[in-house]
Amino acid sequence: MKNGFRQSMAWLHTWSGLIVGWLLLAIFVTGSASYYRSEITGWMNPQIQPSAPFKESQSLRHAMDWLQTRAPEATSWLIDLPTERLPVTQVMWQDAGERRYNSALLDPSSAQLLASRKSFGGDFFYGFHFQLSLPPLIGRWIVGIASMLMFIAIVSGVIIHRRIFKDFFTFRPGKGQRSWLDAHNTLSVLALPFHVLITYTGLVTLMFMYVPWGIDLVYGKERGAFLSEVRDFSAPIAPASETAPLVPYTSVIEQARQYWGEGHIARVAISSPGVANARIELIRDTRDQLSFRPQRLVIGGVGGELIETVAPAGPAKAFYNVMYGLHMAHFADPLLRVLLFLSGLGGSAMIATGLQLWVIKRRGNATKGLYRRIEGLNVMAVLGLPLAMGSYFWANRLLPDDLLGREIREIQAFFCVWLLTLLHAQIRAPRHAWREQALLCALGFAGLPILDFATGPDALNGFNGVSLLLAIGFAYAAWRLYRAPAKLGPAPRSTATSSRPRESRT
């Protein structure tokens, strides 16, 4: 630990960022992709193409009729209505004695069953973002520890910058280590409110797991009672023995419109369909509110009468739900979503420049072999991760639709390519590894629109546009790397009387 408060904060900033920097970069990149989770899922399921404009009432009627025909004996039904971002109706049903739900996709305007392509779509990046494709408890603890260190790095980074806003307007290209530091400072300040908010709210979303002592003190071992109060669960009821037909869909729509207006039903959950005490739970969307916890209506499944209305209440619960909603950003309109996505990419670049700056400052050290290995990890994190993400999309279109465990194979392609980028970065000299992986990223993302045109019904979409922009960015990076001299680190000290180090060129 260095002497002096700022020196101590600089030490803390350096090591809190480095220890989990590669992991934080993966969390930021996949979290940024999760802002377009629905669009990624739509691209990876090209069969999702609505035949005509759809309406809420029409989609619900088709879904209820389809389930009544295909799964009349199921113990519960779930219906996720289509949205503009994902224009497909998803129906799920749970048969007696089964824990998992079966699912199918329907065209919302015609009730036609869409050909199923097994894929996790954008849900894979969303899940990786907060639990790293590990068992939930392990993955979320690792992400939580990394997020805590990220928050420490942000706070200590603000403290050590005496001229934080002046540095924001300072960028000196072609100055080696100085340029990397300027880039890191600029990216840090550019979206500083976003970095603080997204890190803090990410910790809040899982705070009950990280600090459970208050819950244990009040509820003891009755953790289920606590979750029921926080999440507003309705207690399940035993199904009756008498059978009775479900209320028509028009009654469901009328109840929703009376309380929420038109077009706000996100999910319809029907428990014990076909029996006398069936219940229908309507869950409101959250696109017009900051809170992540939606309002709910519970109505009788046979008579259509209102049984219960549930709206989150209480200051503590409201605060938690708003923090959760700010992190998820379901309320974001298209322009705000773009800004959040760009802020996430900026945060990723901030972490990447910080990692590379740490290596560049230490090139030429007696233990340079160690720093070469660390720079290999930087290559794997900065370029290997997007290359692995691109391979995930390529696998989606190249694997046969009828392949057993197809959705798992897509994920395996992601991790295999990511591992190969690590091996490549450790075997090749750093300057070659940077160049070659940047070029591969450019080629991989440039090929996605071509692949979509060859295998999908519509190549003119936002996903392909973003892929082309990323390809251009990686191509420019590869071009700059191929033009750069071999040595990117700080120049040796001058032999003149002045002891100040000369700045090297990139």
Residues 369 and 476 both lie in one domain = yes
Tokens 């991790």 belong to 415
Q: Which of 249, 279, 311 is the last residue of a domain?
A: 311
**Confidence band (pLDDT; 50, 70, 90) for 50?**
low
pLDDT of residue 485: 62
pLDDT of residue 488: 45
Average pLDDT over residues 29-56: 87
Q: In this model, does residue 463 exceed pLDDT 70?
A: yes
Residues 307 and 368 both lie in one domain = no
**Confidence band (pLDDT; 50, 70, 90) for 147?**
very high
As given in the structure block, the two tokens for residue 6 are 């700022």
Among 262-271, 286-295, 339-348, 384-393, which is the least confidently predicted range? 286-295
Phi-psi region of 4 (alpha: psi -120 to 50; beta: other; left: phi over 0): left
Q: In this model, does residue 324 exceed pLDDT 80?
A: yes
Residues 388 and 458 both lie in one domain = yes
Report pTM.
Answer: 0.87
Instruction: In whole angstroms, give the CA distance from residue 489 to residue 363.
Output: 6
Residues 102 and 238 both lie in one domain = yes
**392 in a structural domain:** yes
DSSP state of 112: P
**97 in a structural domain:** yes
Q: In this model, does residue 496 exceed pLDDT 60?
A: no
Residue type, 448: L
Among 58-72, 358-372, 464-478, which is the least confidently predicted range? 358-372
Residues 375 and 472 both lie in one domain = yes
Residues 237 and 112 both lie in one domain = yes
Residues 419 and 306 both lie in one domain = no
Q: Are 276 and 240 in contact (CB under 8 A)?
A: yes
Q: Among 112, 152, 194, which residue's Cα sits nearest to residue 11?
A: 152
pLDDT of residue 402: 87
Residues 376 and 469 both lie in one domain = yes
Q: Is 76 or 493 the better-scoring residue by pLDDT?
A: 76
**Confidence band (pLDDT; 50, 70, 90) for 465?**
very high
Q: Domain count for the chain, please give it.
A: 2
Q: Is 208 or 442 the better-scoring residue by pLDDT?
A: 442
Q: Between helices 37-44 and 21-34, what is the axis angle to 10°? A: 70
Q: In this model, does residue 134 exceed pLDDT 50?
A: yes
**292 in a structural domain:** yes
pLDDT of residue 99: 81
Among 98-112, 215-229, 409-423, which is the least confidently predicted range? 215-229
Q: In this model, does residue 235 exceed pLDDT 80?
A: no
pLDDT of residue 497: 40
Q: Which helix (H) or strand (E) holds 425?
A: helix 406-427
Q: Largest alpha-carbon pair distance within the chain?
A: 98
- Mean residue pLDDT of the chain comes to 86
Instruction: In whole angstroms, give the CA distance from residue 266 to residue 255.
Output: 14
pLDDT digits (tens, 9 = 90+) for 383-424: 999 999 999 999 999 999 889 999 999 999 999 999 999 999
pLDDT of residue 179: 77
Phi-psi region of 99 (alpha: psi -120 to 50; beta: other; left: phi over 0): alpha
Residues 373 and 482 both lie in one domain = yes
Among 50-54, 256-260, 464-468, which is the least confidently predicted range? 50-54
Q: Is 112 or 474 the better-scoring residue by pLDDT?
A: 474
Q: Which of 311, 327, 347 is the last residue of a domain?
A: 311
Q: Among 92, 90, 68, which residue's Cα sits nearest to residue 80?
A: 90
Residues 110 and 240 both lie in one domain = yes
**56 in a structural domain:** yes
Q: Where are the beta strands (DSSP E) in 57-207?
A: 76-80, 89-94, 102-106
* The most confident of 14-28, 173-187, 414-428, by mean pLDDT: 414-428
Phi-psi region of 289 (alpha: psi -120 to 50; beta: other; left: phi over 0): beta
Q: Is 202 or 484 the better-scoring residue by pLDDT?
A: 202
Counted residue by residue, the chain has a size of 506
pLDDT digits (tens, 9 = 90+) for 70-102: 999 899 999 999 988 888 999 999 988 788 888
**Confidence band (pLDDT; 50, 70, 90) for 232?**
low
Phi-psi region of 111 (alpha: psi -120 to 50; beta: other; left: phi over 0): left
pLDDT of residue 174: 66
Q: Which domain holds residue 79?
A: 51-116+233-311
pLDDT digits (tens, 9 = 90+) for 274-286: 888 899 999 999 8
Q: Which of 283, 311, 339 is the last residue of a domain?
A: 311
pLDDT of residue 169: 67
**261 in a structural domain:** yes
Q: Which helix (H) or strand (E) holds 393?
A: helix 385-398
**18 in a structural domain:** no
Show Cβ contacts of residue 222 under 8 Å, excluding neighbours closer than 6 positions: none
**Confidence band (pLDDT; 50, 70, 90) for 51?**
low
Residues pairing with 93 in the sheet = 77, 102
**346 in a structural domain:** no
- Residue 126 burial (CB < 10 Å; 0-12/13-18/19+)? buried
Q: What percent of the chain has pLDDT over 90?
A: 47
Residues 371 and 466 both lie in one domain = yes
Residues 95 and 237 both lie in one domain = yes
**466 in a structural domain:** yes
Among 78-87, 107-116, 157-166, which is the least confidently predicted range? 157-166
Instruction: In whole angstroms, give the CA distance from residue 214 to residue 129.
Output: 27
